[in-house]
Structure 1
């Protein structure tokens, strides 16, 4: 069964469209299970009904005609229950519904399994048999496994637009990622692939066949020449059978072999890299399906040939990508260089299949104010070129092939957002003061000089988090003390006399340095943050000395320690900071000892706030990690994105406790996670008594506008109300409704549409 399953999956993956994939599945599953009927019913959520889309064994004329409502018949029951139904005699079930046009009256045994993708029912896969018998557990397990594979195929078909051709209705494909940068954009997809990465090459329509064929010919000839040269060089050092492989590969690249197949695909309309990927993938699958182990291993060689040809095509192809006016840039993993290639005025949105909200691309996107979604792992980006996309950076969603209603809705949101943002410039120089005169300073999170310029334009009162790891991530080695001093000086001077809080090097988890690899099975619970720098005092001391020297004559430096879990770590770090301070003083530099604080990011720190506060000058909450660790949810994993919620009752209770305990020790308490930049959340943070909110510069004016429209008294009433609730979704909805009633609906963007504010 495992070999059969593998073969079916490979055939389905190679199918040109959804209908072909469905036909393959019903045919192959029927053969594999030696049953008389296999059928697929797809569910249309808009019409709330199932349609028979493919069958082997029932009347073919019923395909596209036989329909059942959401709760009708055994098909409807499988979907409603979201679990298999296995019956010896289908007609004995009280929900049995006979569909005349299918001719299924002669079949008695029934096994139906739901097709589910991200909790959404997509359809039902069914097998039937004339004999009265229950399908055994192995058969049921096989069909469940098959339905899981089919779910991905259907989801991809929705995204590429091929599904509506079959079912006569366009379905919007929705893909969940994680928010990278807030905002909403609508634009045309441009897919970019890294150099020589065959798997990342998208399909793209070929507009100049002659030019594509010329590029392909040059690449094939270049690779053939390279392989001949390699074969000649190694001729006296390889066994005859190994030497013969070079001849085989050269023949494969011949114009009558792979070369011809690729050219035919180009003539059919695909550009050369896409045609190359399709042909190589087919041959790799063929090799991998062979019984002989030696021949299966040749799949690796075919992949290598494909990568060589692709690298040559990319090297010879000098044509630059044409970027539309509203470009949504998509890549398997976005890099800063990819962003730099797009004219800033044309870059509307970003989507990365891999990566997280802390990746350099996401940080840069936030600095530039470009709506971004990271980690959209299910998005079939190969098929997205030139398609219209909606990027919702607020919720981490990407919509492909949007319906007219959804498009109109988001267009209205984009327009409202634009008008509202432009109107906010009037309050840039005004303080953040509530209607009843409560003052709450708004600071910014920075990491690049582009952040600094935007922050000052929006009236930032200080820096609550300067990510010192960013300069480390932009280099191929550790920056020297002098290099760090220069970088830090720029930040301190730009904001002077405003305070600048510099977080000591925070790597590990999802923030890696190429020259300092940290390989761990569970990096978020591993060697990261303060743990790394305490284990490497030479890195820590150099960084602290650079910070201190950069602050000479400015005295606006604050140092913050990340990922603290114990008093011992703080005491050890303080010892090193004082040592560095003494070393700088010994060089004759008049440096004041800066305030030192800690980040409260893990549950252990939550319960030691008072002890930690007795040893430092200030506290700051990293709400992103704190939420992640309290809820045991990887905040960068889109598969559990629905479980990551800053309004979870446990998170709110922890935040309130931290503020209260910090104030009992006379320490200021700030917050610098994404929650601080959420205008909705900022009302709760105001009521809890935070002394400072630090956020992306993009969100600063929205938060200021919201807090200037409410009283501290009303904010506390809202906080008291939501603290009695025990469901994060209900808390969010209740909070938004309360703010709508206060006239603050504008800052909630797409989420406010749930209410008629």
Structure 2
């Protein structure tokens, strides 16, 4: 049975339409179970009716013509119970409804299993037989397994839609709300413009070239054409982005150089693959290394690699793109929106963007923030094929997209947009003002950075330094470990930009889940494996080169802090400090004029919560990585849509853990900071200030809102709020209590504006 199930899933995976998906299911299940009938009924959410979408064994003319209201008949009975119904006398059951059109009155045995995806009923799969008998436990278990396996695939197929559904798919998305991830804060209302990928990297076969020299010539010609395209996009965005923000496109150009991806492709052609196959092989390999990263910021670099690869492939395949007509308020929608796509739309017409793939750390989300374009990423169930030209509301605060919203919902969001515009004008004046409460308590606010383009945002928003600089980027984009001088140049740029304010650099944080192309690590459980400080302590030659580069970069500036990631015990701290001290003394003996940097530890492994006093005696500062700590505490991957709803920074366990860390750190000479999304939420920032955190570090875009909240309350107000929420039992209670208190303090306008996801005229898809 397992092999049969695998074959069914494989066939469904390859189906191109919902009709094809359903046809495979009914044919394969009927054959596997040796039954007379197999049928699939899908629930039309608008009409609340189960529609017979396909069947093998019932009359063909009844397909898509017969339906039952929710709760009607045996199918409705299965949906209501949300569990299998197994009958040997179906016609005698009180819920049985006779439908002459189907010809099913002769089938006495009935087994119906609900198709459930994320707690939502999609439909019911039914098998029937003329023989009067109960299906045995093995048969029932098989059908339950089929339903569970196919629910996600069917949900995606249903969301994608098909023109052959007689309007069912269109009805299902009308007025719907599709959940994603907040990419860029803000709200946009406009018409969808769906852009499809220019070429498909996954469908190119390997092939031995007849003329390798000709293949190389074709490839270099395609590279040149893409360079020109990227240059043109860069030129178009020149008036909208700073020089630092446009550095992304220079990075694109460097990737195309003969010393980078370009040369690798040429080498693969020389080894016996044609240009298209060689390109796909190289691009896929590099993208995979980024995709394996646990760090969301680095994981999104795979999008950049694939975008470049598709553009080069399009020229190799001579793909011509149709000219796109953009409406006045265009919402760019694509399977994977890329920076180059962003640059191709006239600036005055782009209102928002929606990407099926990606996260808030993708380059396009970073650029959208710089341009002030609301964005929603990771809308995995979005029906791309049905959206072009339709009216969308893009809610970049909640990470949701409304399709064909009601007039009332449009009015509500229009009011939110006007309120936000008024608020933003007020926040612009805060950059030069101190982050200080009404009773004189100072709460320094810093930023998290990783690319050159992050610098300008941070300085413009009044950041008081860098709380986290990710040093992995130069390692991830190289074909070897970058040299000491190469690293020094990257680090110096950051230190100079923020001088004299402090810059905290995290040492190399790689591991089994964040492999380098030239340093692969394969483990059964990479999240709990050889990673972070464990790798660099095992390879002191890598650690020492990086530390020396940091120290050299700090000469004459002396605003460097060094932070150690993924620490889980005191021995790792002591060994790391010994190596840093060694590098420092060596450089001083070479004649460099250096000050010893402050050394700190990231608290992101739950075990370190109970070692804070001991660790604090060894280092100068502690910095809580709230995103990872929350994921580890709650055992929730926030990027997994199946469990993302369980992730909450306001979970009582998380808040109590953060408070425990702060209390344990009090009385030591060690300073305490927090870098993560919680710091960038005014509610979280207020609680952390009350707990006693010395500094907070966040994305630059959130800094003005947090500063405004701090400047409008007293520290005693924050402490009273903290005392209230620490007694609560659920995340929902915490959020509600905070909303009420902040409203009483006059801070409601600073909270992210929200409407209920199931607001008027809408429903969750």
Fold-level match, TM-score > 0.5? Answer: yes
| 1:511-660 alignment runs, 5 A limit | 511-660=514-663
Is residue 2:487 matched to residue 1:478? Answer: no
When residues 91 and 755 of structure 1 are mapped into structure 2, their CA distance, relative to the original with a 3 A threshold, is: closer
Contact 1:359 1:511 in 2 (8 A): no
Deviations 1:280-317 (A, max 9, x none): xxxxxxxxxxxxxxxxxxxxx9x989989x98764152
Q: In structure 1, what is the Cα distance between the partners aligned to 2:13 and 2:537?
A: 49
Compared with structure 1, are the counterparts of its residues 90 and 22 closer, same or farther at alpha carbon in structure 2 (3 Å cutoff)? Answer: same
Q: 1:717 aligns with which of 701, 720, 724?
A: 720
Q: 1:313 to 1:701 in 2, by over 3 A?
A: closer
* CA–CA distance in structure 2, aligned partners of residues 672 and 418 of structure 1: 28
Displacement of 1:558 in angstroms is 1.4
Determine whether 1:159 maps to 2:166: no
CA distance in 2, matches of 1:88, 1:632: 44
- Structure 1-normalised TM-score? 0.76
Alpha-carbon distance in 2 for matches of 1:490, 1:306: 33
Q: 1:651 deviation in Å? A: 0.9
Matched, 1:198 2:202: yes
Q: 2:432 aligns with which of 429, 433, 452?
A: 429
User: What CA distance in whole angstroms lies between the structure 2 residues aligned with 1:463 and 1:86?
Assistant: 62
Distance in 2 between residues matched to 1:319 and 1:388, nearest whole Å? 28
Taking a change above 3 Å as real, the CA distance of residues 348 and 595 of structure 1, as seen in their structure-2 partners, is: farther
Equivalence map 1:173-188=2 (5 Å): 178-179=181-182, 182-183=185-186, 188=192
Does structure 2 retain, via aligned residues, the 8 Å contact 1:198–1:306? no
Distance 1:342 1:730 in 2: 44
Kindly report which structure 2 residues correspond to 1:672-687, keeping only aligned pairs within 5 A, or say none: 672-687=675-690
Corresponding residue SS for 2:754: helix
Residue pair 2:44, 2:168 contacting (<8 A) in 1 also: no
Indicate yes or no: 2:444 matched with 1:441: yes
Q: In 1, Cα distance between the equivalents of 2:576 and 2:369?
A: 31
Q: Please say if residues 279 and 313 of structure 2, whose CA atoms lie closer than 8 Å, have aligned partners that are also in contact.
A: no
How far apart in 2 are the matches of 1:476 and 1:356? 26
Secondary structure of 1:664's counterpart equals: coil
Corresponding residue for residue 138 of structure 1:
138
Q: Secondary structure at the match of 2:462?
A: coil
Structure 1 residues 13 and 578: alpha-carbon distance in aligned structure 2, compared to 1, 3 A threshold: closer
Note if contact 1:176-1:638 (Cα within 8 Å) is conserved in structure 2.
no
Distance 1:341 1:722 in 2: 48
Matched, 1:315 2:333: no
Which residue of 737, 749, 754 maps to 1:751? 754
Shift of 1:452: 1.0
- Encode CA deviations 1:336-383: one digit per residue, 9 max, x unaligned: 777777787777666666666666666666666665566555667788
Alpha carbons of structure 1 residues 755 and 681: separation in structure 2 relative to 1, 3 Å = farther
- The partner residue of 1:703 within 706, 724, 748 is 706
TM-superposed CA distance for 1:705, in Å, is 2.1
CA distance in 1: counterparts of 2:84 and 2:323, whole angstroms: 49
| 1:318-344 per-position Cα deviation (integer Å, ceiling 9, x unaligned) | 756767574636456x77777777787
Tell me how far apart the structure 2 counterparts of residues 467 and 573 of structure 1 sit (CA, whole Å): 18
Q: Pairwise CA RMSD of aligned residues?
A: 4.2
Moved more, 612-621 or 352-361: 352-361
Following the alignment from structure 1 to structure 2, what is the Cα–Cα distance between the partners of residues 407 and 40?
36
Change (3 A) 1:417 1:319: farther
**TM-score using structure 2 length:** 0.76
- Residues 648 and 198 (structure 1 numbering): CA distance in 2 closer, same or farther, change over 3 Å? same
Q: How far apart are the structure 1 equivalents of 2:479 and 2:189?
A: 36
1:612-643 CA deviation, whole Å, 9 max, x = no partner?
Answer: 11111111100011011112223333332122
SS at match of 1:694: strand
Residue of structure 1 equivalent to 2:695: 692
**Contact (CA 8 Å) 1:158, 1:164: kept in 2 or not?**
no
C-alpha distance 592-195 of structure 1, shift in aligned 2 (>3 A): farther
Segment of structure 1 superposing worse, 17-26 or 557-566 = 17-26
Find the counterpart in structure 2 of residue 171 from structure 1. 173
Q: Deviation at 1:669?
A: 1.2
Matched position secondary structure for 1:698: helix
Per-residue deviation, 1:727: 2.0
1:356/1:510 contact within 8 Å kept:
no
Residues 51-450 of structure 1: pairs in structure 2 closer than 5 A: 51-58=51-58, 66-91=66-91, 93=93, 95-97=95-97, 104-147=104-147, 148-149=149-150, 151-160=152-161, 162=163, 165-166=167-168, 169-171=171-173, 178-179=181-182, 182-183=185-186, 188=192, 190-191=194-195, 193=197, 197-199=201-203, 314-317=315-318, 319=320, 324=326, 326=330, 328=332, 330-331=334-335, 394-397=397-400, 413=416, 416-450=419-453
Q: What is residue 734 of structure 2 aligned with on the other side?
A: 731
Q: Which residue of 2 aligns with 1:292?
A: none
Count of residues in correspondence between the two structures: 665
What per-residue deviation string (whole Å, max 9, x for no partner) do you get for residues 83-135 of structure 1? 21112223554554555665544443221111122222111112233332111
C-alpha separation in 2, matches of 1:346 and 1:532 = 48
SS of the aligned residue for 1:569 comes to helix
Return 5+ residue gaps in structure 2 as ranges. 213-273, 282-309, 760-765
CA distance in 1: counterparts of 2:758 and 2:714, whole angstroms: 22
Distance in 2 (alpha carbons) for counterparts of 1:306 and 1:438: 57
Bigger mean CA offset, 567-576 vs 383-392: 383-392
